[in-house]
Structure 1
Amino acid sequence: MAESFGSNEVTFRLSRSRRSVPRSRAALHAVLGEWEVAQDVLETAELVLSELVTNALRVPVPSDRQVSVRIARSPEDGLLRLEVSDAGSGRPEVRKPSDDETGGRGLLLVEALAHRWGVERRAGGIGKTVWAELKASDIVAEPVEWQVAAVMVRPGQRVRVRGEWRAVRTVRSERYATGGLAVVLGLDEGPALRVPAVEPLAVRGEGDGTA
């Protein structure tokens, strides 16, 4: 599963396999967990994405054609957007199957759960993209970050340590045995971080992580 990450979107491709539906759900959980999306929105998004991916996998296309998924957030509009693209022709339509039919309710469920949904031609390729948007008023944009020398870090900010963001509780300076200046950052988790005073660190601001 090839992946591409941005601050407000994640895209990945799935093989034409039954395992791709649970894989798409796992990826969705990881992304929405990182974005701190509410549990009820996550559960709705899981149902919608599962239906969209399932439908895309059923489209008759060559077996080497993958399914593309895009998960994006729009903090300004309070919307979460799910897109699933396939190489198939045609335009899926909502069906209203009879009570004795076991299938055909996928888009009916999407229509019921989504704020809005639609179909459009696939950008830059053959096939189509089926998309759905969910209301998610609690999503926020990726916090602004910048780089500063370690000596400029202040308590209350957050620094990136081995790929994880940690809150800075205390800051003190000390000398190396060789005479250089070091900065020791006391963090909310794990051991203190001891680095040269001039080493650049990725920093976010106090509280919600914005500048």
Structure 2
Amino acid sequence: MFKNLVPEEGTVGALNLIVEGGLRIALNPSFNFSVDVHPSIKYFHSFIPLTDFNGFIFGVGFSGSFRFGKDPDAPEAVIRSIKFGEVKLPPLFAAMQSFYAKNPIGKVTITNTEKQGISDVRVSFFQKGFMDSPTPTETIPELKGGDSREVKLLASFNQEVFSTEGITPLTGEVIATYSYGGRPSEQRQSVSYDLYDKTSVTWDDDRKVAAFITPANSA
């Protein structure tokens, strides 16, 4: 509406065409800081003799934002709520493969170093090259802040243990998975030991005799 465009006629209305478009480009140089760029273009056309403002109008806007907190993917933000106690394994024997699947090869103490509890704690043992998958040992529904738990380790070796000769030094892993504050996490602790071939055995535990008894022997 133009009040003084035609004084003798009073207020005059005008028909105008306005077309506008724009983009939003977001740049995130870090987890905490982001910059937005807003380029835009507008076309204005008046259908009256006043055409001074007809044409294109270009504009660029900028905005920035800051987010508090730590990047969950940053190395320093990785959850490390469990502390492993010293893990020692005795020499293991390929001939005792079936025995180790049901009888502990060793034990480890895990401690929750947080003030809050961690949940769904699952501990397993894995030996690359001699296991098809980690051997689960124990599941702890909840480990309160500062609490410790001793966990016995089992080992389900595959047939590859029978291909070794003499004494084979190995390095296995104790694996602990758990949830802290709703976030899943995993920690691993390496442990070294010796694996003796199938011709070696020790009878320090009478229960190991069962590893050599087959259905054919008991018939």
Q: Which range, TM-score by smaller chain? A: under 0.3
Which protein is richer in helix relative to its size? Answer: 1
Which protein is richer in strand relative to its size? Answer: 2
TM-score scaled by structure 1?
0.25
Larger Rg: 2
TM-score scaled by structure 2?
0.24
